[in-house]
C-alpha cells in the first residue's frame, strides 16, 4: 500500500513542497524524516507498523515540524541512532540547506530547546546532497559545490565534522580549497 500525507501547516502558512529531500527511514523507531523547501524538517511515525502520522507539536520541549532554516530548501536528512543529539545517547539528524549550512537536529526535541545546532556558512553555493555519516568513526561529511572563495577561487570541497560538532563549527576542510 502507499500513503500520501501532506506536510503539516501547524507552524502557519501554506505547506512548502519538497524538491530536494528524500525521506530517511529510522528502522528502530518506525519513523520517517524529510525536509521541505521552507526550511522545516518533518517527522512521521507509524511508517510501516502503524498508521503513518506526522508528529505535530508547536509548543513545549519537543517541537515538530522542526524549523531548521527560515525559508530555504533542506537536503535529504540522515539519522545517527544514539549519537549527535543533545543528551548522551540521543539520536541526531543531519541535514544541510540551500544557504550552505549544516544542521544537527535532536530526533526527539526537533526545534525545541537545544534541539538544533548549526555550523557557520560553509560555502557560497548551497549544499545539494544529504550528508554522509560514518557511524564507525563518528564523522559527518558534507559536500559543498562552491566554498567561500569568489570567481576562479571558488572550489568544490568536502568538509568533515564530528557527529557532536559545536555550534558555529567550521569543520575540517579537505580537497582543492583556497583560503577563505
Alpha helices, H only, 9-123:
none
- All three cell numbers of 155, joined, read 572550489
Q: For residue 51, what are the contacts with CB-CB under 8 A and spacing of at least 6?
A: none
Q: What is the mean pLDDT of the chain?
A: 86
What are 52-101's pLDDT values in tens digits? 999 998 888 899 999 998 889 999 999 998 878 787 777 899 999 988 99
Grid cell listed for 49? 507498523
- For residue 40, list its beta bridge partners: 67
* Rounded Cα gap, residues 98 and 18, in angstroms: 13
Its pTM stands at 0.89
Within its chain, how far is the Cα of 55 from the centroid? Answer: 17
pLDDT digits (tens, 9 = 90+) for 90-123: 789 999 998 899 999 999 999 999 999 999 999 8
3-state secondary structure of 63: strand
Nearest residue to 110 via CA among 37, 31, 28: 31
pLDDT (0 to 100) of residue 175: 56
* Cis, bond preceding 65 (omega within 30 deg of 0): yes
Q: How many CB atoms lie within 10 A of CB 24?
A: 18
Amino acid at each position: 500500500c502507499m500513503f500520501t500525507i501532506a506536510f503539516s501547516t501547524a507552524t502557519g502558512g501554506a505547506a512548502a513542497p519538497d524538491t530536494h529531500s528524500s525521506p530517511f527511514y529510522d528502522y528502530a523507531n518506525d519513523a520517517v524524516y524529510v525536509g521541505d523547501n521552507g526550511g522545516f524538517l518533518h517527522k512521521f511515525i507509524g511508517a510501516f507498523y502503524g498508521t503513518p502520522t506526522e508528529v505535530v507539536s508547536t509548543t513545549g520541549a519537543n517541537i515538530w515540524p522542526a524549523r531548521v532554516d527560515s525559508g530555504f530548501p533542506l537536503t535529504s536528512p540522515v539519522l545517527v541512532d544514539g549519537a549527535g543529539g543533545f543528551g548522551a545517547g540521543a539520536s541526531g539528524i543531519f541535514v544541510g540547506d540551500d544557504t550552505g549550512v549544516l544542521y544537527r537536529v535532536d530526533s526527539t526535541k526537533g526545534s525545541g530547546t537545544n534541539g538544533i545546532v548549526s555550523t557557520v556558512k560553509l560555502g557560497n553555493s548551497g549544499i545539494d546532497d544529504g550528508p554522509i555519516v560514518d557511524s564507525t568513526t563518528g564523522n559527518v561529511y558534507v559536500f559543498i559545490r562552491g566554498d567561500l572563495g569568489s570567481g576562479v577561487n571558488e572550489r568544490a570541497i568536502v568538509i568533515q565534522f564530528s557527529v557532536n560538532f559545536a555550534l558555529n563549527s567550521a569543520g575540517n576542510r579537505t580537497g582543492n580549497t583556497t583560503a577563505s
